[in-house]
């Protein structure tokens, strides 16, 4: 203003806040994802905490009902009640499985699988589940990559997506399943901290239904959220798919336009090895045997029910109530053919240590672990350790029969490979760890196990060593100064397809260990026995050497 009070000029300061607003929005989105992850983690802890006892109860009911049905004439009226009770148990088992799946605690046994073949195998099941009013098209690209996934869980996930789409279209409409190869770079994975760059197999389920309202879309993966009437759905279908995808090292996204339709994209990690044929057991092929089984189970009712199922299959059964008693029984009378053991049991001696002690004494002893819990000494991050025979509770008589036969037959199949792996020559391990003190400690552990050790401190040094020398295995830290341990391992596997790789990490998940195959993970802080077990699982050491090394 001038001296007379008239407006003369104004001074303005402008600042472009576009970048600041972008950062603010990204931080808000990240905070929402963290809160969502924390909610799932809390629910997962609750689900995992009750799973052991709940599944044990279901196992007692399954075994008891199965044996009761055997003792009653097939035309007796009470059989209808037994059938109804068994269906209720199956629904309880399904609910338990769904709870563990969305919380990423479902035990998975991933391997290299052709997803087109996998879904073609269940074409009849898909069409039966969807009904005559639905048209379904399956389209896969040529030269489709194999995916590293659990076969049954993948089928269930796709079925969940298809059934969800059918319900949205009220049983009439068109569905397309499109399977393709996808490569993801850093720009594709923004806001996805659990995923890594690399190759994935994409399964897209597309419908021409009514679509999903914009206000509902952010909630569709939340557990127990459903728009269906009461009694028509649990609200766990899509959240189960979400949990399965993340646990498998992938992700699931959804896009929808009201009045146009919905597409759900399931991304699953690419396998580095050729696809393996999926073996489904025909019910007529399920058989028992006459071998002797040592059953170790601390819950008396579960022990009795499982022993009854094994006896009904023709096996001779001896029982023990804990790992210490099992060792005593095995040493008093070592004439048994298979060890079947629960995983979570009280006492100073763990089931894993008991099993490894027996395998050190009898390298050809097959072992089948059974468990109703998904985070224990053989199931890490929901994935069953490589080479471990595992059966999740609650299980049926048929499922038990199949797993027992698989375990017994696996000894003959793997014995020649084990004999080849363990030679007179000391095993030579290439150790990559950038922290000098940790590297020194790991070298001492490996030396104590009778291996030769060559040390490196970076990813590039490791790759250089592999160009000039011969090594039997690679033990590598995930967090290296020049490149990630996962990137190094991927490049190593391209040049050395059969080399065993052990990742040492403080992370909860190492996706490359799953996609590369023939890998093990030891989580920091780990001890001598943890590393020895990992070496034994990959065939670098015999179980006897691993048990006696310390």
Count how many domains the chain has: 4
Domain that holds residue 336: 285-420
Same domain as 370, residue 490:
no
- Measured CA to CA, the distance from residue 355 to residue 368 in angstroms comes to 10
Q: 265 with 374, same domain?
A: no
* pLDDT at residue 141, as a whole number: 92
CATH label of the domain that carries residue 458: 3.40.50.2300
* 215 shares its domain with 298: no
Buried b / exposed e along 406-415 (16+ C-beta atoms within 10 A): bbbeebeeee
Q: Is residue 204 part of a domain?
A: yes
Nearest to 342 by CA among 305, 303, 382: 303
Burial 177-199 (b: 16+ CB within 10 A, else e): bbbeeeebeeeeeeeeebbbebe
Strands (E), 208-269: 251-257, 261-269
Q: Are 94 and 152 contained in the same domain?
A: no
Of 10-19, 368-377, 418-427, 480-489, least confident by mean pLDDT is 418-427
Q: Check residue 545 and give its pLDDT.
A: 52
**pLDDT score recorded for residue 413:** 47
Assigned domain for 219 exists: yes
State residue 303's pLDDT score: 92
Residue 12 lies in a domain: no
* Domain-located, residue 372: yes
Whether 532 and 287 have beta carbons less than 8 Å apart is answered as no
Beta strands in 335-381 (DSSP E): 338-342, 367-371, 379-380
Segment 516-546, tens digit of pLDDT: 777 888 887 777 777 887 887 777 765 445 4
Query: 3-class SS at 54?
Result: helix
Report yes or no: 447 and 453 within 8 Å, Cβ to Cβ: yes
* pLDDT band, residue 100 (cuts 50/70/90): low
User: CB–CB of 309/404 below 8 Å?
Assistant: no
Last residue of a domain, one of 420, 455, 485: 420
Q: What pLDDT, in 10s, does the model give residues 476-489?
A: 998 898 888 988 99
The pLDDT of residue 503 is above 60: yes
pLDDT at residue 70 tops 90: no
Q: Who has greater pLDDT, 421 or 64? A: 64
d(CA 333, CA 330): 5
Give a yes or no: residue 74 inside a domain: yes
Q: Which of 144-153, 205-214, 489-498, 524-533 has the lowest mean pLDDT?
A: 524-533
The better pLDDT of the pair 53, 439 is held by 439
Encode pLDDT of 16-42 as tens digits. 888 888 888 878 877 776 776 666 666
Peptide bond into 525 cis (omega under 30): yes
Q: Which residue has the higher pLDDT, 38 or 294?
A: 294
Q: Express each pLDDT in 219-239 by its tens digit.
A: 887 776 676 665 555 566 788
Tell whether the model's pLDDT for residue 421 goes beyond 60: no
Helices 528-537 + 351-361 axis angle, to 10: 60
Kindly state whether residues 387 and 486 are assigned to the same domain: no
Before 394, cis peptide (omega within 30)?
yes
The answer to which of 48-62, 259-273, 442-456, 481-495 has the lowest mean pLDDT is 48-62
Q: Is residue 6 part of a domain?
A: no
Model confidence at 43, pLDDT cuts 50, 70, 90, reads low
CB 202 within 8 A of CB 180: yes
Residues 161-184: pLDDT tens digits?
999 889 888 888 899 999 999 988
455-465 pLDDT tens trace: 999 999 999 99
Same domain, 408 and 370: yes
d(CA 311, CA 292): 10
Q: Are residues 97 and 126 in the same domain?
A: no
Q: Is the dihedral of CA 309, 311, 312, 315 positive or negative?
A: positive
Looking at the structure, tell me whether residues 383 and 449 fall in a common domain: no
**Domain final position from 384, 404, 420:** 420
- Does residue 221 share a domain with residue 177? yes
pLDDT (0 to 100) of residue 103: 58
Structure tokens, 112: 């290299």
- Assigned domain for 2 exists: no
Q: Quickly state the pLDDT bin for 102 (edges 50, 70, 90).
A: low
Of 111, 212, 182, the residue nearest 152 (C-alpha):
111
Cα 135 to Cα 102, 173, 291, 349: the distances in Å are: 29, 6, 49, 56
H or E stretch at 319: strand 316-320
Distances (CA, A) of 544 to 188, 330, 358, 360, 526: 46, 17, 9, 4, 20
**Helix, strand or coil, per DSSP, at residue 344:** coil
Looking at every residue in the chain, the average pLDDT score rounds to 81
**Confidence label for 350 from pLDDT (cuts 50, 70 and 90):** confident
How sure is the predictor about 205, in pLDDT bands with cuts at 50, 70 and 90?
very high
Is pTM beyond 0.85 here? no
Sign of the dihedral defined by the CA atoms of residues 112, 114, 119, 124, in that order: negative
Cα-flanking dihedrals φ and ψ of residue 128, to 5°? -70, -40
Say which residue the tokens 């989580």 belong to.
Answer: 523
In this structure, are 265 and 119 located in the same domain? yes
Q: Is 454 helix (H, G, I), strand (E, B) or coil?
A: strand
Q: Is residue 457 part of a domain?
A: yes
Burial level of 103, CB count in 10 A (0-12/13-18/19+)? buried
Within this chain, do residues 81 and 130 fall inside the same structural domain, yes or no? Answer: no
Domain with 218 in it: what CATH number? 3.30.565.10
pLDDT at 381 over 70: no
Is pLDDT of 387 > 70? no
Question: What distance in Å separates the CA atoms of residue 102 and residue 160, rounded to the nearest whole number?
Answer: 13
Residue 158 bridge partners (DSSP): none
3-state secondary structure of 31: helix
Average pLDDT of the segment spanning 478-505: 87
* Chain centroid offset of residue 360 CA: 27
The pLDDT assigned to 417 comes to 41
Domain boundary among 217, 240, 269: 269
b/e for 326-356, b at 16 or more Cβ within 10 A?
bbebbeeeeebbbbbbbbbbeeeeebbbbbb
- Looking at the DSSP bridge assignments, the partners of residue 318 are 294
CA distances from 344 to 5, 396, 408 (A): 86, 20, 23
Is the pLDDT score of 510 beyond 90?
A: no
3-state SS string over 167-196?
A: HHCCCCEEEEEEEEEEEECHHHHCCCCCCC
Percentages helix, strand, coil for the chain (3-state, rounded to 5) are 45, 20, 35
Looking at residues 349-363, what average pLDDT do you find? Answer: 84
Model pLDDT, residue 48: 61
* Per-residue confidence (pLDDT) for residue 543, from 0 to 100: 47
Whole-angstrom Cα distance, residue 202 to residue 270?
A: 10
Same domain, residue pair 119 and 258: yes
Rounded to 10 deg, the angle between the 300-312 and 18-70 helix axes is 60
As a whole number of angstroms, the distance between CA 255 and CA 158 comes to 16
So what's the pLDDT on residue 380? 54
């Amino acid at each position: 203003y001038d001296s007379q009070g008239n407006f003369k000029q104004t001074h303005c300061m402008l600042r472009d806040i576009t970048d600041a607003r972008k950062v603010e929005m990204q931080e808000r989105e990240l905070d929402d994802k963290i809160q969502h992850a924390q909610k799932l983690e809390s629910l997962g802890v609750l689900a995992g905490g009750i799973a052991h006892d709940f599944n044990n109860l279901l196992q007692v009911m399954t075994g008891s009902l199965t044996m009761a049905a055997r003792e009653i004439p097939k035309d007796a009226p009470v059989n209808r009640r037994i059938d109804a009770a068994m269906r209720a148990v199956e629904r309880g088992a399904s609910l338990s499985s769904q709870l563990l799946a969305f919380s990423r605690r479902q035990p998975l046994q991933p391997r290299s699988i052709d997803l087109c073949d996998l879904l073609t195998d269940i074409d009849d099941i898909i069409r039966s589940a969807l009904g005559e009013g639905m048209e379904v098209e399956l389209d896969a690209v040529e030269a489709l990559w194999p995916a590293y996934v659990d076969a049954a869980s993948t089928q269930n996930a796709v079925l969940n997506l298809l059934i969800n789409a059918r319900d949205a279209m009220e049983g009439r409409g068109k569905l397309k399943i499109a399977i393709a190869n996808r490569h993801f770079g850093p720009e594709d994975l923004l806001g996805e901290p659990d995923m890594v760059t690399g190759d994935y197999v994409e399964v897209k389920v597309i419908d021409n239904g009514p679509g999903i309202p914009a206000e509902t879309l952010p909630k569709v993966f939340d557990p127990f959220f459903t728009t269906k009437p009461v009694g028509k759905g649990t609200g766990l279908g899509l959240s189960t798919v979400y949990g399965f995808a993340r646990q498998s090292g992938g992700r699931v996204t959804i896009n929808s336009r009201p009045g146009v339709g919905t597409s759900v994209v399931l991304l699953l990690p690419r396998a580095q090895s050729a696809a393996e044929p999926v073996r489904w057991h025909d019910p007529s092929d399920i058989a028992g045997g006459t071998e002797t089984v040592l059953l170790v189970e601390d819950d008396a009712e579960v022990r009795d029910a499982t022993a009854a199922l094994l006896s009904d299959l023709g096996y001779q059964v001896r029982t023990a109530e804990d790992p210490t008693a099992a060792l005593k029984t095995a040493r008093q009378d070592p004439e048994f053919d298979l060890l079947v053991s629960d995983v979570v049991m009280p006492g100073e001696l763990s089931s894993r240590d008991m099993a490894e002690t027996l395998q050190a004494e009898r390298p050809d002893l097959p072992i089948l672990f059974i468990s109703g819990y998904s985070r224990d000494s053989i199931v890490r991050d929901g994935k069953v350790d490589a080479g471990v025979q595992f059966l999740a509770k609650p299980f049926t008589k048929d499922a038990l029969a199949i797993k027992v036969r698989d375990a017994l037959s696996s000894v003959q199949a793997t014995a020649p490979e084990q004999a080849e792996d363990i030679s007179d020559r000391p095993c030579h391990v290439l150790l990559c760890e950038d922290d000098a003190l940790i590297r020194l400690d790991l070298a001492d552990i490996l030396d104590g196990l009778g291996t030769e050790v060559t040390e490196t401190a970076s990813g590039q040094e490791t790759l250089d060593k592999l160009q000039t020398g011969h090594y039997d295995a690679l033990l590598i830290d995930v967090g290296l100064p020049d490149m990630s341990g996962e990137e190094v391992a991927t490049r190593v596997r391209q040049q050395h397809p059969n080399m065993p790789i052990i990742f040492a990490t403080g992370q909860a998940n190492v996706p490359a260990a799953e996609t590369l195959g023939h890998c093990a993970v030891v989580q920091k802080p780990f001890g001598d026995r943890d590393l020895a077990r990992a070496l034994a699982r990959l065939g670098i050491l015999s179980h006897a050497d691993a048990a006696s090394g310390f």
